[in-house]
Amino acid sequence: MPPSPRPVSRRRLLQASALALPGAWALAACAREQPLSGPTGAASSAAGSASGSAAPSPSGIPIASPQNPIKWPINPGNEPIASGLEPEANATLRIYNYPDYIDKGVLKGFEKEYADYNVSIELSTFNYYPEALTKIRSGSVPFDVTFLSYNFMGRLVYGDLIRPLNHDYIPNMAANIWEEFQNPFYDLEWQYTVPYTIYTTGIGWRSDLIPEDIGARPNPYDVFWDSKYAGEIAVLDDDREVIGMTILRDGGTDVNTADPAVLGAARDAMLEMLSLSQPRVTITGYTDIPEGVMSLSQAWSGDMLAAVNYLPQDVDVSTLRYWFPQDGLGLVNNDFMCVLKGGENPVLAHHFLNYMLTNEASLANLSWNGYQPPLKMLTPETMVADGYIPDNLKQAVVLPEWFVAGYPILELPPEVEAEYQAIWQQFKAGA
C-alpha cells in the first residue's frame, strides 16, 4: 500500500482489472522468484555496519526516517555505470508505473528528443506495489525505470534490484530540484533515486455542496466524525493515510508509531467514524468530488488539482477547495524514480531520469496529472499566475520547507505493519 497517488482517470476500469487478480496472484505464486542469495547475508552485515545511524527492522533491513537518514550500501558488482557512455540505440525503454501517473505526451517527447537513437518507450502499469515487486523480482520483463515511495526502498536495495546512479548523466537534479532533495533522508546523496512528485494529504471538497469552511474549524479533521455529513464524505483507500490522519486528529504527531495504546485509540476512533459518518473508502475523489458523487473527501493535493479537469460544464472551478495545515504539520510524502538493475538500457534510463527533471517535462506532467514536481521554479504565486492551479486551490501547493516539517509515512517493521493491517482490515470489514 504505497501511499503513492494515482490520478487515475480511468480508475474504475482498473478496478475491474483487479477482478483478474486472484488468478494473477495464483500465477505469481507459481512464478520463479529470485532467491535472496546474498541479500540476506548482505542485509545482516549491512545492518550491523549501519546500526549506528539506522534502526534495523527484525528482518534485517534498516528503515529510513528523518531521524535516521540512510546511506544505502552499494552491493558488490552493482557499481554505477561509467560516465560518458552513448545511450543504447534502437532500444525499448521499459517504464513501470502506477496507471495514469505519467503523461504519455511527456513520454512521446522523450522519444522525439532521442529520435537519433531510435528509442521507443513501453509503459507498463501496476495497481499495488507488492504486485510490482513480485514482477520485478521474477525478472520476466526487463523493466528499466520504476516509480515508488519510501516503503519499498530497502527491499529494492537489499534484493539487489536497483542500480546506483551516475550523477554525471543527471545534471538537472542540481540545476532544477529543491535543495531539500539533494540529500534526502531516504537516500542520502541520492545514490539510487531522483524525486518525481511531492504531495500532501488534506481535505478536498466542493464549496457549493458543503458551504462550511472546513479549514476554519479548530480541528478540520473532525469533519470525518461529523454525523451532519453522513453519506457525503470519503476517506482514502489507504491504511496508512487514514490511520495517520486519525492519529493527527487525536493530537499525535508520530504517524509511524508502534505504540499499542496510540494504535488502539486510532482503531476505536476509526470504528466510531464508521458509525457516525458512514464514509466511503476510495481513491476516486479526484473525479467523484468534481462530479458531486461525494461532497468531501480526504484527498491528495495532486488529486484536487487533477479534479479541475473533471468538473461538469455547469460547475465553476472556484467551487473546489483543498485544506492542508499551512504550517506543513500534516502528511507530506513524495515519490521518486529509480533505475532497475534488470533493465537492458541503463544509460538510456539515466537520460530518461534527467529528461523527467527538466522544467519542460515536469511542468507538462504537472498540468496533466496534477502532481507537483519539486522544481525550484514553482511557487504558489507562479503556479497560480502561470495557470497551473486556480487561486482557490492554492493550499494544494507544496512548499519546500514542508518536506522537513511534515510527517512522512515511512516503512514499518513487519510486526508493526501487521498491526496497521489488522486495524485497516477491521475498518474495511465494517465491524
- Identify the sign of the CA torsion 134, 136, 138, 141: positive
Q: Which is nearer to other proteins, 284 or 362 (CB)?
A: 284
Q: Nearest approach, Cβ of 159 to other proteins (angstroms)?
A: 7
Q: Residue 341, interface with other proteins (CB under 8 A)?
A: no
Report the relative pairing of strands 320-323 and 193-206 from DSSP bridges.
antiparallel
Binding mask 342-371 for other proteins (x = CB under 8 A): ------------------------------
Which one of residues 7, 279, 325, 342 is an interface residue with other proteins (CB under 8 A)? 279
266 closest CA partner among 416, 65, 420: 420
Q: How many CB atoms within 10 Å of residue 324?
A: 27
Binding mask 388-417 for other proteins (x = CB under 8 A): --------------------------x--x
Q: Output the CA–CA distances (angstroms, integers) from residue 412 to 113, 228, 245, 250, in the order listed.
A: 41, 35, 17, 21
Q: Which is nearer to other proteins, 34 or 309 (CB)?
A: 34
Task: Count interface residues toward other proteins (CB under 8 A).
Answer: 59
Q: Residue 126, interface with other proteins (CB under 8 A)?
A: no
Q: Residue 43, interface with other proteins (CB under 8 A)?
A: yes
Q: Residue 226, interface with other proteins (CB under 8 A)?
A: no
**Segments of 305-348 assigned E as strands:** 320-323, 331-340
Say how far apart CA 235 and CA 245 lie, in whole Å: 10
Which one of residues 95, 243, 294, 356 is an interface residue with other proteins (CB under 8 A)? 294
| Rg (the chain; Cα; Å) | 21
Which one of residues 139, 252, 292, 390 is an interface residue with other proteins (CB under 8 A)? 292
Q: Nearest approach, Cβ of 297 to other proteins (angstroms)?
A: 11
Q: Residue 158, interface with other proteins (CB under 8 A)?
A: yes
31 closest CA partner among 139, 130, 156: 139
Binding mask 164-203 for other proteins (x = CB under 8 A): ----------------------------------------
Task: Collapse the DSSP code of 127 into the 3-class scheme (helix H, G, I; strand E, B; otherwise coil) and give the result.
Answer: coil
Rounded-to-10 torsion of CA 163, 164, 170, 173: 120
Q: Which amino acid belongs to residue 21?
A: L
Q: Which amino acid belongs to residue 267?
A: R
Q: Which is nearer to other proteins, 27 or 216 (CB)?
A: 27
Q: Residue 232, interface with other proteins (CB under 8 A)?
A: yes
Instruction: Map grid coordinates 496507471 to a residue.
Output: 99
Are 196 and 357 in contact by the 8 Å Cβ rule? The answer is: no
Q: Which is nearer to other proteins, 58 or 84 (CB)?
A: 58
Q: How many CB atoms within 10 Å of residue 103?
A: 16
Q: Residue 240, interface with other proteins (CB under 8 A)?
A: no
Which one of residues 146, 282, 372, 395 is an interface residue with other proteins (CB under 8 A)? 282
Which one of residues 105, 231, 260, 264 is an interface residue with other proteins (CB under 8 A)? 231
Report the relative pairing of strands 331-340 and 162-163 from DSSP bridges.
antiparallel
- DSSP, res 123: E
Say how far apart CA 256 and CA 272 lie, in whole Å: 21
Which residues, numbered 17-36, are part of the site for other proteins (CB under 8 A)?
18-19, 21-23, 25-26, 29-30, 33, 36
Binding site for other proteins (CB under 8 A): 1, 12-13, 15-16, 18-19, 21-23, 25-26, 29-30, 33, 36, 39-40, 43, 58-61, 127-128, 130, 133-134, 137, 155, 158-159, 231-232, 234, 237, 274, 278-282, 284, 291-294, 414, 417-418, 421, 424-431
